[in-house]
Every structure is written in structure tokens, then in C-alpha cells.
Structure 1
Amino acid sequence: MLTGKQKRFLRAKAHHLNPIFQVGKGGVNENMIKQISEALEVRELLKISILQNCEEDRTEVAENLASGTKAELVQVIGNTIVLYKESKENKQLVLP
């Protein structure tokens, strides 16, 4: 579980990132979770955007992605989700 200070730090780091995944009409599926897990292992911090045609609630999508990838949910703001998962091999971020 992340502390408030760590979440603030991660939000600041994620501010300049562009979303690399989009959740659309199909919602969250196994293939998407697998791809996001692999990307988290490489990058540690990801932004994911939720498209207008997504039928699920954005908080549900965020919780499903976080639990499916075993990542920490840093922030849900607007239609953007920020996820963090510490990398086993490519550790880049040092949390305060």
C-alpha cells in the first residue's frame, strides 16, 4: 500500500506521461490485463485512458485493472488512470 507522500511523488512523475493503453467498448479483458502487466514491468508507471464509449464505470475499470495486474492504483482523474507496480528487473523509480 502506498502512502500519501508516495502517491504525490508518483502523480508528479506521471503528469508528463502520455496514455499508452485505452479502454474502450469491450471493457477490461484478460489480454489487456496481460499487456498492461508486461508494460508495467518495463515502465513501472503507466497512464491508461478510458474512451467515451466504455460502458463500465471508470472507478470499476481502475479497480479491475489494478487487481488484475496486482498494481497500485495511484490516481483516477477524469478519464485517465495512473497505475504503479514496482519492477523486479528494471527498477527505475525510488519512492520517498
Structure 2
Amino acid sequence: MLDAKHRQALRGQAHALKPVVIIGAHGITDGVLAELEVAIHAHELVKVRLPQVSHDERDAMIKTLSTASHADVVGHIGRVLILYRPRPAAAPKR
């Protein structure tokens, strides 16, 4: 869980980012979830562009994407969602 100060810092970092995952008319598909996993694994902090849907549907999509990717919602403005998941620490070499 992110505290307010960390969330604010991440929003600042995300400001310059462009959405790397764009959800189309078909909604959240297995392909979208796979792309989100690749993007969040590579970058930790990603922007996702949501389709134009009602507020309730958007909130449901945000919850689904966050849960499926095991990522924290840093924020969302309009149709742009910011997700963050830190990379797991590398196992020490023996």
C-alpha cells in the first residue's frame, strides 16, 4: 500500500509518460492483461488509456486492472489510469 507522499511522487514521475497500454472497444481481454503485465514488469510505473465508458464501468475496469496486475492505483484523471508495481527484489547470488 502506498502512502500519500509516495503516491504524489509517483504521480509526478508519471506526468511525462505516455499511455503504453490502450484498452479498445473490446474492453479488458486476455491480450490487454498480457500487455499490461509486460509493460508493468518492464517499467514499474505505467499509464493505461481506458475506453470512453460510464463512470461505473470505468471504476470497475480500474479495479479489474489493478487486481489482475497486482498493482497499486497511483491515480486516474479522466480516461488515463496510472498503475505502479515495484519490481521484486532480485534473489542474492550464492
Which TM-score bucket, shorter chain as reference?
Answer: 0.7 to 0.9
Quote the offset at 1:89 in angstroms: 6.4
C-alpha contact 2:14 2:46 (8 A) present in aligned 1: yes
Q: For the pair shown, which has the larger CA radius of gyration, 1 or 2?
A: 2
Deviating beyond 6 angstroms after TM superposition, the runs of 4 or more aligned structure 1 residues are none
How many Å separate the matches in 1 of 2:24 and 2:74? 21
1:53-91 CA-to-partner distances (Å, cap 9, x unmatched) read x5772111111101001111111111100000001369x
1:10-43 CA-to-partner distances (Å, cap 9, x unmatched) read 0000000000111121111222112211111110
How many Å separate the matches in 1 of 2:76 and 2:62? 7
How many Å separate the matches in 2 of 1:65 and 1:19? 14
Q: TM-score, normalised on structure 1?
A: 0.83
Letter in 2 for 1:41: H
* 2:18 match: secondary structure: coil
- Tell me which moved more, 28-37 or 7-16: 28-37
* 2:49 match: secondary structure: strand
Q: TM-score, normalised on structure 2?
A: 0.84
Paired residues for 1:11-90 under 5 Å? 11-52=11-52, 54=53, 57-88=57-88
- Tell me which moved more, 20-29 or 79-88: 20-29
* 1:57 match: secondary structure: helix
RMSD of the TM alignment (CA)?
A: 1.9
Q: Percent identity?
A: 27
* 1:48 match: secondary structure: strand
